[in-house]
Structure 1
Amino acid sequence: MTEPNASTLFMGWDVGGWNCDRNPASRDALVVLDAERRLVGKPWRGNLRRTINEANSTAEFVHGLLKLCAIDTAVHQAPRLLMGIDTPLGFSRPFIDLITRGMAVPTVGESSSNPYLHRRTEHFLFERGLYPLSPIKDMIGSQATKGMHVLGRFAPVREACGVWTDGRMLRAIEAYPSACKRSACIEALRAPFYVDAGSVPRIFVPGLEHVDAQDALTCALLAWAFEHRPQWLAQPKADIDPVEGWIFVPEDGLRASVGADSSR
């Protein structure tokens, strides 16, 4: 794993659909933190499609994201950006084989064990009390293809299982904010962003009022932990197919393995 770099910016991206400007409830949201976990610029919420389409290089894409967040690109001329992305960034190997080669698995079980609907990383989370969505059956295919499109254009190199990069200024991992609800580690990192840490429900500082922005903040904190506290996060097992990717979640938000839930 790359050594921590004090100049790295940590961006969380809560991904909206391709046409999320038509969806007032759920849109793209961005939050940027520095190495000290201080908010940089302003949280942003909208549709990234134009920014994605207009960028002709990774540098243009990164600078476009920073401008949306009101970050001075003259100060951050060549930033190193580590992005935590809240959407599936891969499909299962059996699903890929099915649609590209017509290869079928012998049998198909319940939903959470269905090899077409879920990747191994999602099976891992099912067995530990979490319920990640499937881009095949849970209507998040728009978000998933949007995230994978961005990787294909701007971070096409698979550095390691679940880590993508352009080799210079952008690295990306898949994050999962819902997995942090039981995590004391991530909750401690979120505390400075509450107006009153003792309030119930929690009230976030200005700019983080919408749940999309709050999820983007959690993704940014997971990106920070990936670089500065990797021991906090569940790491991909050696037998995980890199083409499927990996969801990086905090270990202290997981229950002991109890067997996959079959009710979904």
Structure 2
Amino acid sequence: MTSDTSAPLFIGWDVGGWNCDKNPSSRDALVVLDSQRNVLGRPWRGNLRRPINQSADTDAFISRLLNLCELDASRFDSAPVVLAIDTPLGFSQGFIDLVVNGQAADAIEGSSENPYLFRRTERFLFERGLNPLSPLKDMIGSQATKGMHVLARFAPMIESCGVWTDQIRLRAIEAYPSACKRSNTMSELHEQYGIGKSPDAQWPEGFHHADQVDALTCALIAWLSHFQPGKLVQPTSEIPVREGWIFAPVDD
């Protein structure tokens, strides 16, 4: 199969902790898709800590991601990339105000409404029956800081709420595969890979772990954000820009 080496690439990254090398249940996973949603190379699973540390700039980082997936990165050196990352890519404005400015929020009651523990995007999901995790209370701080570290190094500019960029080649967004399980849109996209309603019930050829299937879902969110953004819930004007936004299907 021949791919247009200047067309966009869509990379899904399911994030593991900083030191997930020997974690049997959760590690970093990558999947690369082309514009026709074909899987390029091979899904990868391991720890991205060392490739992140070894990358001097954005191009080097992208090249390492592609090489890990057994792709010749030099063939895609002009391809723009959309990277969808499965981890919180910001902390809540309430938490930042508390830590940086010593500014307390108003009275706090229910956990899902706690402005320190959850961003507005997560509270939005709670209001719709989902249960997103908190980077502060749910032991995903390692993954969250890993994702934010990558943004700070390789996509430090905010293009719009929930979209980070290097202003040249890379755009990064936040995805959340658990928010896609009830989506007909995502189910239809998954059918291309032989995945049924429950993604972990059947793995496509070349996939060996649920982390890789989650990375595929992230890559599909990246693809939707580029070609069919109307099928993803978009942030509204009152969302704090630095908090970011979880891009999930409208029909979930």
What residue in structure 1 maps to residue 117 of structure 2? 117
What TM-score does the superposition give when structure 2 sets the normalisation length? 0.95
Counterpart Cα distance in 1 of 2:182 and 2:198: 18
Q: Please state how far the C-alpha of 1:7 moved relative to its aligned partner.
A: 0.4
Q: Please state how far the C-alpha of 1:199 moved relative to its aligned partner.
A: 10
Counterpart Cα distance in 2 of 1:49 and 1:31: 17
Deviating more after overlay: 5-14 vs 238-247: 5-14
Counterpart Cα distance in 2 of 1:44 and 1:204: 14
User: Can you list the C-alpha shifts for 1:96-154, whole angstroms capped at 9, x where unaligned?
Assistant: 01111111113111100000000000110000011100000000000000000000000
Structure 1: gaps spanning 5 or more residues: 254-264
Q: Please state how far the C-alpha of 1:198 moved relative to its aligned partner.
A: 9.2
Q: Please state how far the C-alpha of 1:202 moved relative to its aligned partner.
A: 3.7
Q: Please state how far the C-alpha of 1:203 moved relative to its aligned partner.
A: 1.9
Partner SS state of residue 41, structure 2: coil
What residue in structure 1 maps to residue 159 of structure 2? 159
Partner SS state of residue 159, structure 1: strand
Structure 1 residues 172, 139: CA separation in 2 closer, same or farther (over 3 Å shift)? same
Partner SS state of residue 116, structure 1: coil
Q: Please state how far the C-alpha of 1:6 moved relative to its aligned partner.
A: 7.2
Q: What letter corresponds to residue 240 of structure 2 in structure 1?
A: D
Structure 2: gaps spanning 5 or more residues: none
User: Can you list the C-alpha shifts for 1:16-68, whole angstroms capped at 9, x where unaligned?
Assistant: 00000021110000000000000011100000000000001001000011000
What residue in structure 2 maps to residue 217 of structure 1? 216
State how 1:4-153 maps to structure 2 within 5 Å: 7-153=7-153
User: Can you list the C-alpha shifts for 1:203-251, whole angstroms capped at 9, x where unaligned?
Assistant: 2222223110000000000000011111111000110010100000001
Q: What letter corresponds to residue 221 of structure 1 in structure 2?
A: L
User: Can you list the C-alpha shifts for 1:61-96, whole angstroms capped at 9, x where unaligned?
Assistant: 000110000111231122211011000000000100
Q: Which consecutive aligned stretches of 4+ in structure 1 deviate over 4 angstroms post-superposition?
A: 197-201
Q: Please state how far the C-alpha of 1:192 moved relative to its aligned partner.
A: 1.6
What TM-score does the superposition give when structure 1 sets the normalisation length? 0.91
Structure 1 residues 104, 201: CA separation in 2 closer, same or farther (over 3 Å shift)? closer
Q: Is the 8 A contact 1:207 1:213 kept in 2?
A: no
What residue in structure 2 maps to residue 206 of structure 1? 205
Q: Please state how far the C-alpha of 1:200 moved relative to its aligned partner.
A: 9.9
Partner SS state of residue 21, structure 2: helix
What residue in structure 1 maps to residue 241 of structure 2? 242
